[in-house]
Amino acid sequence: MNTFKFLIAGVLLAFGTAASAATIDPLQLDFADGSGSGGTMTEVSPGDIHGVDIFIGSLTVRGTGTLEGEYVVDAMLNFDTSADTLTIYGTAGDLGITTQQNLFSGNISSFDWTDGPFTDIFFAEGSGGASAELLAAVGGSAGAFTYVGFSLESFDGEVISTDFLATQTTRSVPEVPVPAAVWLFGSGLLGLVGVARRKTV
């Protein structure tokens, strides 16, 4: 009986080790103003905030292994809370994306707006997706993103600080094939289990 338990544990360990190889960190895209800022953020009507041509100068990528790092981009963030939409439109030369496109687009599900005496602060959450070309450039795969942080700070309507962080919550994980040696090892152990059980009868 002890031999049977030991062999089953060995089989589970072998297959568990192979399956764990499919675990990956979530892909994160962190857009920020980089070396500059610009654009406007205004309250067009009560509860209706518009962000126009807010400069995005950098993209920090996490969760892609060797492609992780900070890249220079030349893009603009635009959003409209009445339509619940946003886009980050431009290029990412460091990633080989030289054609103007929507690097990221999505919807706004909720937001907070603080109209201060000196600075205004805007924070929003929602979901969206990155362009296929951007995902290919950073080694990502298709899947939906959720904003875990989208904040802007402005002074007299002009944006002075930008940060937009999105995490891919439905990233597809490629299946990792189980090595042939593991299959042979597992089948061999199962064969030995059969022998051990026959001997105990």
Q: What is the pLDDT of residues 60-108, one digit of tens each?
A: 999 987 789 999 999 999 999 999 999 999 999 999 999 999 999 999 9
Q: Which residues contact 169 (CB under 8 A, 6 or more apart)?
A: 26, 143, 144, 145, 146
- Does a structural domain hold residue 199? no
Question: Could you give the percent of the chain with pLDDT greater than 90?
Answer: 50
pLDDT at 170: 63
Quote the CA–CA distance of 100 and 91 in Å, as a whole number.
5
Residue 63 belongs to a domain: yes
Residue 163 lies in a domain: yes
For residue 80, tell me if it sits in a domain. yes
Q: List beta partners, residue 150.
A: 164
Write out pLDDT tens, residues 109-144: 999 998 888 888 999 999 999 999 999 999 888 889
What is the overall mean pLDDT for the chain? 79
- pLDDT band of residue 196 (cuts 50, 70, 90) is very low
pTM of the model: 0.73
User: Is 11 within the bounds of a domain?
Assistant: no
- Print the domain residue range for 48: 25-168
pLDDT value of position 48: 95
Residues β-bridged to residue 162:
152
Residue 29: what pLDDT? Answer: 95
Total domains present in the chain: 1
